[in-house]
Amino acid sequence: MNKRFLGTVVVTGILLLMAANASAQGGAKKGPEVARDPDMEQDSLHNLEVARQYFKLRKAYVASLERCEEVLAGNPAFSKIDEILFMAGASSLNLSEAKGKQKPDQYVIREGEKKTTLTPQEFRDKARDYLSQLVNDYPQSKFREEALANLKSLGGAKPKQNNATPETAAQKTKSKNKRSNH
């Protein structure tokens, strides 16, 4: 009798654990599967943390922008790319207004031997590009509302970029019409 009771308790316990596990995952909606390189992800997380420190604590917007751009160039599939876009946009906007502890002319673009600095309008354009990408591509981001607020002073969000050229779109329409006629 004791063996049967003990067996029933064990089986019941296992079933309860399985049911709890199944219900915990029941309604979860997963996003698209994205293959991320763990080393790149770790490096990008480090750069994000450093960029946050520059941005929030030091008001070093040139350094923050450079760290963000490093992540954008090296790991565009980064899991926190929305925060990177927000910080790059906000840093650019602050630099356009000469805010912070670093002067805007410390941000230098190097093309071979040529070094270029940006005007306040060029920083504003850069800010609008980053913040528009955030708003258009990451509608569920917790940074979206603040990005929209910043975009008001920049003329609003730019429309989402469509990579299709007019000829490509017309060709797709023709091809689609041919398929539906057959």
- Residue range 8-30, pLDDT digits in tens: 555 555 555 555 554 444 444 44
Mean local confidence (pLDDT), 152-174: 64
Torsions phi, psi of 110, nearest 5? -110, 125
Residues 80-129 pLDDT 10s: 999 999 999 999 999 999 999 999 999 999 999 999 999 999 999 999 99
Count other Cβ atoms within 10 Å, centred on residue 170.
11
Tokens coding 61? 């917007």
Whole-angstrom Cα distance, residue 169 to residue 173? Answer: 6
- Residue 137 sits in a domain of what CATH number? 1.25.40.10
Kindly report the pTM of this predicted structure: 0.71
pLDDT at 161: 74
Instruction: State yes or no: pLDDT of 44 exceeds 90.
Output: yes
Structural domains in the chain (count):
1
| Domain limits for position 92 | 38-160
Note whether residue 18 is domain-resident.
no
Among candidate residues 50, 54, 56, 48, the one with its CA nearest the CA of residue 80: 48
Note whether residue 20 is domain-resident.
no
Kind of pairing, strands 114-117 and 108-111? antiparallel
Note whether residue 166 is domain-resident.
no
Q: Rounded to whole angstroms, what are the CA distances from 173 to 22, 43, 92, 163, 166? A: 45, 43, 40, 16, 11
Note whether residue 27 is domain-resident.
no
Note whether residue 177 is domain-resident.
no
pLDDT at 140: 96
* Three-class DSSP category at 175: helix
Note whether residue 67 is domain-resident.
yes
pLDDT at 1: 56
Note whether residue 91 is domain-resident.
yes
Whole-angstrom Cα distance, residue 172 to residue 178? Answer: 10
Amino acid letter, residue 105: D
pLDDT at 35: 77
Note whether residue 105 is domain-resident.
yes
